[in-house]
Structure 1
């Protein structure tokens, strides 16, 4: 059985960075290819 890739979008990453690293909240976030 294949495990589907999790969906991690830039909105999720932005929320995580804002919560964990507030000093970095203004840094740009760009999607990258998986694998």
Structure 2
């Protein structure tokens, strides 16, 4: 059970980081498009 909780928290952290990176990437793309 402890292993499941540990891996679950790691997965959640990875998802949060991936979401943040995705938002930054899409934000930069939109910003560059607005510049042109």
Q: TM-score, normalised by structure 2?
A: 0.34
Q: TM-score, normalised by structure 1?
A: 0.35
Q: Which has the higher contact order (CA 8 A, sep 6+)?
A: 1
Structure (1 or 2) with the greater helix fraction: 2
